[in-house]
């Protein structure tokens, strides 16, 4: 009823507002989807990076990660809750980053261990040379 009392200008303004609101909601949904897709790409990148470190991380973790990313892509296309899908993608990225950190820590551990071996070898060699020289010095005292 009341719409009949609106002037042409008012009607046009309300109409434009409704169009803008629609566009805004659409854009938000598009952004959400864009964000999730971006995360899936990021997950793929991280998995690729993890392949280089696979000897340093548990095989099960890598397999789980691969399965998750595959399912995530499928779920995105199967009308799952997009907010939760985004959350899954987010925690997955966290997980992969943690795995990479774990691998890097293991590498550091391995490097430190190797350095210790090198230093020990140096110490043993130096000790040997030193005792030889000490023996030789006795001849001059």
Partner 1 sequence: MINTKLLLASCIIIAALFVESIKSDEKDLVTGSENKIAVEKINESLAFIEKSNQEKLSGNLLKSQQYIKIAEIKLETGQSLLRSYLIKAKTAELENNLASIRSKNLLLKEEFRNNIAKLKQFKDNTTLSEELIYNNSLNNLESALSLINDAEKVDATIYSSNLLNKAYAHYQKASDNHNTGHYEESATYSEQSIEFAKQALQQSTNKYKEKENLRSNLSDIFGFTSDSVNSSIILSSEEVFSPQSSSIRFDLYPSLDKIAGTIKDYEDLKIEVKLYNNSFKSSNKNMALSNKQKDTIIGYLISKGINEKAFIEKKYTTKEITKQRKIEIILNN
Which residues of the chain form contacts with partner 1 (CB under 8 A)? 20, 23-24, 27-28, 30-31, 34-35, 38-39, 42, 57, 61, 64, 68, 71, 75, 80-81, 84-85, 87-88, 90-95, 97-99, 101-102, 105-106, 108-109, 112-113, 115-116, 119-120, 122-123, 126-127, 129-130, 133-134, 136-137, 140
Q: How far is the CB of 139 from partner 1 (least distance, A)?
A: 8
**DSSP track, 76-97:** HTTT--HHHHHHHHHHHHHHHH
Residue 6 vs 109, nearer CB to partner 1: 109
Least Cα distance to 109 among 53, 54, 51, 56 occurs for: 56
**C-beta of 10: minimal distance to partner 1 in Å?**
18
d(CA 8, CA 70): 54
d(CA 25, CA 27): 5
Angle between helices 59-76 and 82-138 (to 10 degrees): 160
Smallest distance, Å, CB 80 to partner 1? Answer: 6
Query: In angstroms, what is the minimal distance from the CB of 18 to partner 1?
Result: 13
**Helices marked H in 53-81 — which ranges?**
59-76
Question: Which is closer to partner 1, CB of 73 or CB of 95?
Answer: 95
Structure tokens at 16: 């434009």
């Amino acid at each position: 009823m009341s719409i009949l009392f609106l002037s042409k200008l008012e009607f046009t303004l309300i109409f434009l507002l409704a169009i803008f609101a629609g566009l805004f909601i659409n854009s938000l949904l598009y952004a959400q989807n864009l964000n999730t897709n971006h995360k899936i790409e990021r997950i793929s990148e991280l998995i690729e990076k993890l392949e280089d470190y696979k000897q340093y991380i548990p095989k099960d973790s890598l397999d789980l990660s691969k399965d998750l990313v595959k399912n995530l892509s499928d779920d995105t296309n199967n009308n799952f809750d997009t907010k939760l899908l985004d959350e899954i993608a987010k925690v997955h990225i966290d997980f992969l980053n943690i795995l990479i950190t774990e691998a890097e820590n293991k590498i550091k551990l391995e490097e430190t261990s190797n350095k210790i071996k090198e230093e020990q070898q140096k110490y043993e060699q130096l000790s040997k040379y030193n005792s030889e020289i000490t023996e030789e010095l006795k001849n001059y005292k």
